Structures are given as C-alpha cells and as structure tokens.
Amino acid sequence: MKGLYNNTLMLIKFILKRERVISLIWVLSLVLISSAIAPGMASLFDDEARAQFAAVYDNPVMVAMLGPIYGADNYTAGAMYGGMMLLWYAIAVAVMNVFIVVRHTRANEEQGREEVIRSLPVGRLANINAVMISAAIINGILAVATGFGLFVTSVEGMDFASCMFYGAATGMAGLVFAAITAVFCQLSSNTSGAMGLSFMSLGAAYALRAAGDVGNETLSLISPLGLVQRSKAFVENDAAPLAGLLVIVLAFTALAYKLNSVRDLGQGFIPARPGRKTASKSLLSPFGLSLRLLRNTIIIWSAVMFIGAGSYGSVISDIPNFVSESPEYLQLMGIPHEMLEHIPDETKAEIIVDGFGAYVTSMMSLIALIPVLIAALKLRSEEKEGRVEHLLSRAVSRSGYLLCFTAISIVMSVIMQVATVLGLYYSTEAVLGGESNPFVLQSLFKASLVCLPAFWVMIGIAVLLTGLFPKLSGIAWGYYGFVCFSSLIGGMAVLPDWLTKLSPMAFIPEIRVTCSELFVSDEVNLVTLTAMCGVAVLLIGAGVAGYRNRDMT
C-alpha cells in the first residue's frame, strides 16, 4: 500500500506550482466579490427592508432559486447574505474544483504528461492522491480567505466565528465536487467527457435541491448543495451538514482511488465512441474543422440558454405579487418604487413584468458570454495542446484560421440570444396562454440583440490577447468576471460610475419588452453601438495581425 503513494509530496509541490497563478486568480476573485457584495447588500437593505424581504421570501420562485429562508425572526444582514449568497458562492467554488481536478488527472493523461510521470519512481495512486490533497489545500486557503474577507467588512451579524464557518461551508462544497469530478475522470476516457459529466452532476445537484426545497425535503438532503444551505451560515452555524459533506468527500475519494487502481492508463470505464473511418467533406476546410470543434458547445449551450430563460418564464405569474412588496428588487430591475404607489394593481403588474423581462434578458446575456468566449479562445487552447502546428504546416492561412473561430463566436452570440428570447417567450406563453402573454416577441429580440456590440467587444479582447499576448489570454476571463460583477452590483449603486463604465454592458440601453402602452421603448443610441462595433473591429484586426506575425508557443 505504501508503494502506491510514493513521491506524493513531490507531486503536491508540482501541482501547487502549476496552480499558483490560476488558482490564485480564482481565490482572489471569489474573495473580492464576496467581500464587496456583503457591505453593498447591507447598505441596500436596512432593517425594515430586510423584514419586508423576509415576509415575501416564502415564495416558490425564491425558494427554488435560493433555498429556504433561515433566521427570518431576526433577519440580520448576515442572515440575509448567507441565505442569498451561500448557494451561488458554493457553485462558483465547485466550478473551480472541477477545473482543478480535470486539469491534473484526465487532461494529464490525454496530453501524455501522466505517462512521463509514471515512468519515474512514482506510485500508481500518487498523482490522484496529490490532486485531492492539493484541492484540499486550495479549498482551505479559499475558506480562510473568504472568512477573513467577510469579517473585515464589519457587517451586522457577521462575527468572526460565523464568517469562518461560512468559508468552511463553501470550502467543503468545493471538496465534494472535487471528489465527484475525480470519479468521473476515472469513468470517462477523455477530458471533455469528464468535464461534461462533472458539470451535469453540479446541475443535477442544483435541480435536486430546488425540487426538494419546494417539495420533499429528503431530496435536498441528498444534494450536496442542499446540505451546504442547511448549515445555516450566520444563523445557527450547524456543523452537522458539513459532517455529512465530509462523508460524501471520503466516499467518492475512496471510489476514485479504487477505480484509478484497476484501470489502464489513458483509458476510462466509459469507452470513447469510435470515430468515422473517413472525414466528412465539411472537415476539409479550416472553417469546417473549427465548426466541428465547437459543435457540441453550440448545441449544449443553446439548450442551456433556452431552458434557463424558460425557467424564468414559467414563474411569470408569481412575479408581480412577489416583487411589488420589495423596493430593493424594484431598484435592481430599474423601477422606482414611487412609481407604483398610486397606480392600479393591474397597471403595477404590467410595469413589474416589463422590468422583469428586461432584467432577465440582461442577466441571461451575461451567461451567454461564456460560450462565446469559449469559442473566441478555442484557437489558443488548440495551440497550447500542440494541434495547430500540424494544421498550419499545410496550406492554411494563420489569419484565416483565426478568423474562422472569430466568425463562429460572432454567430454563436446571435444564436445564444435567440435561444434566450425563444425560451422566455414560449415558456411564458405556455403558462399564461397565447392571448395573455405580456411579452412582445419583436421587443424581446430587440432587447437581446442590442447587447451584441458588447459581445463583439468581448470577442475582440479575446482575439487581441490570442494574437498579441497569448500567455495572457486568461485575462479575458478575468475581464468577464469584472463585467458580471459590475452588471450585478451596479444596480446596488455601490460602484463609482467611472468603474461601471469600463464594462461594455454599461452602454447597452434597456429596451421595454411588453405590449404595455405605459412605456416608450428607450431609443437605441446608434452612434454608441456603432462605436462599439468599430472598437470590436479594431481589436479583432490587431489580434489577427499579431497572430500572423508571432511565433507559435
């Protein structure tokens, strides 16, 4: 048994050295975001506002999205923060852990690095053991940093012990999905399969928790995310659910070790589907190859956007009653509370539904940026894996190949927005009926497609980094994090205006999306949108020029 783990310590040092930049960015980003949201939320919701929020929280929509409310009798700023943020913070930490484990297990095998390591005096289980210990170290650092970051904000109801418990809960959630991912890395025979199964398990955990929170609580107790929420951070700080999560971690880790010890290197228990004997005609061109590489991304994310937007449309009938009692949610949706004080309930409902529709389209646009950036940065990932050199050694233009991925990412931006619109519109129509659907399909398209210039600026930044600064291409994801942060927190009025304006989404007008005659749609500033398109063209042009002239790395 001892021989199975030979040189684990050396591999831990190696993994942590490889992770010193990527994981540091993850940790700093998560800690800074959580530490910034806490005081912003506390300033936005005073004691009276929190009491009102707690009164209207008992709603299937909110419970499904955020989980059950805890500490409603004494709803402090800490209790509110824990209830609203713990779930989403745990999901973000889980995503970080999926990338860490896949990167150092299945990806290592697929790229041949594991074979080199195994040729040295290293135990058969040393690498997976080192990966799990490294994940524990990174999650421990994140937990402590999160706790300290929240404590220094000095928000009411956030004492030192509660802040550290909150950090421990999120760190334990990350370890659970690290262990689950380690199992899928043994089952799948390729990186994309392991990644897909891991994210599917995360989505299943969220869906199971949502179903249990609004129905049978036993389902929530099965879900790791449901257990995390039942730790009741900043309210009771119950350690029992964390003990349950630790049992899950140990069970899945033991299973991953067992599977790793009996399978062949480079193989998985789920065999890879054999490819075709001959390539199709579409693969005989650079564009066809680029499209094939991104085909699954386009299909999967189109379904995600359609279903995600449809989930909002399915609860549209509950929105007016829920939001009308919360001035803070009205503010987030850009509706002044004073506007609703002296108008009939029917008119009030129209205003709220319109604001809700505009808010959903803007938030879904942030999610749609993920696959768009994946497509724009795909060539860089192919270059790092050494596959581009073989292609460019033939009669293939560098700039032409880069423009293929750029064109696909631009088309994807349109596809994602269209999928969002169709999901929101037709789910609302299915719930309310065609004649009572408050949304206008044409207006929804206008509200979504007006975001495209901002998408193209983001694509331009990704192409620029790929062409001129390939080693810094990860900055595109850091900037995306800032765009999301400024868009979400900007509604709370806690960021200076100049900082908000650094995001291209800040220049996108809000378009009314209902058939109500109470509103006049905001005029689209064609000069601003045209300028953004020009900036995108300049960024893409600079990136293409740089890629044509630089060495392959």
Neighbours of 534 (CB within 10 A): 12
- Sign of the alpha-carbon dihedral angle for 41, 326, 210, 432: negative
Helices and strands (H and E) in the chain: how many? 25, 0
Helix 475-490 to helix 345-376 angle, to the nearest 10 degrees?
170
Q: What global pTM score does this model have?
A: 0.79
- Among 510, 507, 511, 509, which Cα is nearest to 532's? 507
Following CA atoms 136, 139, 140, 145 in sequence, which dihedral angle do they give, to the nearest 10 degrees?
Answer: 170
The answer to whether 137 touches 16, Cβ cutoff 8 Å, is yes
SS3 state at 266: coil
Following CA atoms 100, 104, 109, 115 in sequence, which dihedral angle do they give, to the nearest 10 degrees?
Answer: 180
Task: Provide the token pair at 357.
Answer: 């529709």
In this structure, what are the phi and psi dihedrals at residue 20, rounded to the nearest 5 degrees?
-65, -25
End-to-end CA distance of the chain: 41
Strand partners, 514: 439
Task: Provide the token pair at 457.
Answer: 């600026």
Confidence at residue 466, expressed as pLDDT on a 0 to 100 scale = 93
SS3 state at 70: coil
Confidence at residue 514, expressed as pLDDT on a 0 to 100 scale = 67
In whole angstroms, give the CA distance from residue 31 to residue 24: 11
Per the listing, tokens 């971690």 go with 249
Confidence at residue 56, expressed as pLDDT on a 0 to 100 scale = 66
Angle at CA 193, nearest 5°, toward 187 and 195?
A: 100
In whole angstroms, give the CA distance from residue 363 to residue 481: 13
Residue 382's H or E segment, with its range, is helix 378-384
Per the listing, tokens 């923060």 go with 81
CA 219 to chain centroid: 24
The answer to whether 123 touches 4, Cβ cutoff 8 Å, is yes
- Among 364, 322, 238, which Cα is nearest to 63's? 322
In this structure, what are the phi and psi dihedrals at residue 395, rounded to the nearest 5 degrees?
-80, 65
Strand partners, 439: 514
Identity at 1, one-letter amino acid code: M
Buried b / exposed e over 186-216, threshold 16 CB at 10 Å, is bbbbbbebbbebbbebbeebbebbbebbbee
Task: Give me the tens of pLDDT residue by residue for the chain, a chain 553 residues long.
Answer: 668 888 899 999 999 999 988 899 889 989 988 888 888 777 777 777 777 777 766 666 667 777 888 888 888 888 888 888 898 899 999 999 999 999 999 989 888 888 898 888 888 899 999 999 999 999 999 999 999 999 998 888 889 999 999 999 999 999 999 999 999 999 998 888 888 889 889 888 988 888 888 777 888 889 999 999 999 999 989 999 999 999 999 999 999 999 999 988 888 888 777 777 787 887 888 899 999 889 888 998 898 889 888 877 766 766 666 565 555 555 555 555 555 555 666 666 677 777 777 778 888 888 899 899 999 999 998 888 788 888 888 888 999 999 999 999 999 999 999 999 998 888 888 877 656 777 878 888 888 888 999 999 999 999 999 999 998 888 888 888 888 877 766 555 556 777 778 889 888 877 766 665 445 445 567 888 899 999 999 999 999 999 998 888 7
